[in-house]
Amino acid sequence: MNLAQIGGEIHNKRVQAGLLQEHLAKFAGLSRVTINQLENGTLKDLGYTKLKAVMDIVGIDMETVQPSGLKSALVIAARSISTSYRDVVTPEMLSLMLRSGQAPEQFQPHLMALLDETPLPVVVKAVTEAATPDVPAKKIMKNLSLWAEQWQVCRTVW
């Protein structure tokens, strides 16, 4: 698989996850122009570390198969954000909150942990898993951005 083919697969996965090129660029520490060129097949070269960072975010490896160990990101994210709190967020609850954009007050600290501390590949995969035809991943990403702005989270990628 060449860089242009990988770029096409990255584009497909990014759109499926509801990410803008700007989001993917920030998450991977690259410029939006680099992501655009990668997706359009016009990028001449990109180092392995940078390419791997982009691919990890959208959940693909060099063979474009699902990376092992990330079977259900909603389960992993829900468990991760509930670790420090008495109230537990279930994967179903997390999915509903992501889709609705409604964050009950007792779960706002959990969602802040999702935005600030959860590995970005897990967040992106959880968004993809929570998405439905009625609430696409792009809408869920907007909900995350609104929460990040409202709560002034530390992670600046939102």
DSSP 125-154: HHHHHH--SSS-HHHHHHHHHHHHHHHT-S
Q: Which domains does the chain have, with CATH numbers?
A: 3-58 (1.10.260.40), 73-151 (no CATH)
Q: What is the pLDDT along the chain (158 residues), one digit of tens a residue?
A: 789 899 999 999 999 999 999 999 999 999 999 999 999 999 999 999 999 999 999 999 876 445 455 579 999 999 999 998 999 999 999 999 999 999 999 999 999 999 999 999 999 999 999 999 999 999 999 999 999 999 999 998 98
Q: Tokens in use for 129?
A: 């898993």
Closest among 111, 118, 110 to 85, alpha carbons compared: 110
Q: Is 100 left (phi over 0), alpha (psi -120 to 50) or beta?
A: alpha
